[in-house]
Amino acid sequence: MAGPLSSLTVVEFAGIGPGPYACMMFADAGARVIRIDRPPVGNGVADGLFRNDGFVDRGRQSVAFDLKQPAGVQAALRLIEHADVLVEGFRPGVTERLGLGPEVCLALNPRLVYARMTGWGQQGPYANMAGHDINYIGLSGALYAMGPEDRPPLPPLNLVGDYGGGGMLLAFGALAAIVAAKATGRGQVIDAAMTDGAALLMAPLYGMAAKGYWRDQRGTNFLDGAAHFYGTYECADGKFVAVGAIEPQFYRSLLDICGINDPAFNDQWHTQAWPALRDKLAAVFRSKTRAEWAARFDGTDACVTPVLSMGEAPHHPHNLARATFAMTAAGAQPAPAPRFGATGSSLPAPAPSAGRDTRAILREVGYESGAIEDMLRSGAASQSADGT
């Protein structure tokens, strides 16, 4: 069954982080995604880490063009002319210098959605400065809010800036612009910045702060680990459970299943008592293994679940029942989400090698065989050994 985006063609300039993540979402939902790779050069460990061949790169076709050569730029423009979306993650001004900027591309393809992914945005004092997820979320107020009160802020992997505030923001922006383009026939430029996206993810917390329900001090609030009823606890076997019993009825269930009759627990929102109550609850959870607690809490409304490792998560019964992970020869990988009732989607093909589809796609956009071979000989294009 074709996915809901099966009518879309996306051209992606190869990169790392949020741009590829957004394009994975497009491919997972059925879009045709053609990635423009750089011709492989081979740089040891760094090349292995940043090569576009991971789970996030699934579902693509790949061409390899040297965009420093005019023939490579012209080939890229041929692809862009027939695309619905272009995704690029260079620093501001790079595509303009290459001759592939929005003005050129929109003149060639007026309905194109030109989606730009950066950390700091296309303008502002930091626009041309290097950075990574940790820097972008640091500027948004998100990083400051994470971690214990008595320790430095704790990076939440690179989920908040790169993927939630970056890739998903870009995908949403591109789809919104596609809807507008279908109505007007005109595309537009999307300026998606991870700093903006991370700040947007913080909207509920800024809202709670405005109403007086959130302190601008790490480790003192009910969602940041300070509350005894919202956090993680170590069990007798050194494994952990996650507790999220916020609502009073869920909190009551937590206490009942834990066998807690201590009246000190009765005032759930007495913040000064939270540290002592956390210590008491920690002693309770250390009395049994994670598996024993899981058995007690499964099927209840106490909001207590095991904290699973990446190795364990794909094998949990709930994840197995929903096929949350796809078991492949390369290992367990997260399956496409969300689920579509009428236009289903399935796990796309594994990531292609750089340049696997160069010849085939150049033929598709009108290049003659002789011209293709000339590009390959000059290095303006590259074809991988497993291509056709």
- Catalytic residue among 37, 162, 196, 224, which? 162
Distance separating alpha carbons of residues 302 and 315, to the nearest angstrom: 23
Half-sphere exposure of 267 (CA within 13 A, CB side): 7
Q: Is 316 a catalytic residue?
A: no
Helix (H, G, I), strand (E, B) or coil at 244: strand
Helix (H, G, I), strand (E, B) or coil at 332: strand
Q: Which letter, b or e, does each residue of 236-251 get, where b requires 16 or more Cβ atoms within 10 Å of its Cβ?
A: eeebbbebbbeeeebb
Query: What DSSP designation does 39 have?
Result: P
Distance separating alpha carbons of residues 314 and 325, to the nearest angstrom: 6
Whether the Cβ atoms of residue 33 and residue 87 lie closer than 8 Å to each other: no
Whether the Cβ atoms of residue 161 and residue 170 lie closer than 8 Å to each other: no
Distance separating alpha carbons of residues 388 and 134, to the nearest angstrom: 41
Whether the Cβ atoms of residue 260 and residue 270 lie closer than 8 Å to each other: no
Residue 210, C-beta contacts closer than 8 angstroms, at least 6 positions apart? none
Q: Is 318 a catalytic residue?
A: no
The count of residues in the chain is 388
Q: Per the structure block, which two tokens stand in for 290? A: 């994670």
Q: Which letter, b or e, does each residue of 25-43 get, where b requires 16 or more Cβ atoms within 10 Å of its Cβ?
A: bbbbbbbbbbbbbbbeeee
Structural element, H or E, at residue 27: helix 18-28
- Catalytic residue among 82, 132, 316, 374, which? 132
Q: Per the structure block, which two tokens stand in for 196? A: 């903006």
Pick from 61, 77, 64, 70: which is nearest to 36 by CA? Answer: 64
Q: How far is CA 244 from CA 87, 262, 273, in A?
A: 38, 20, 18
Which residues are marked as active site? 132, 162
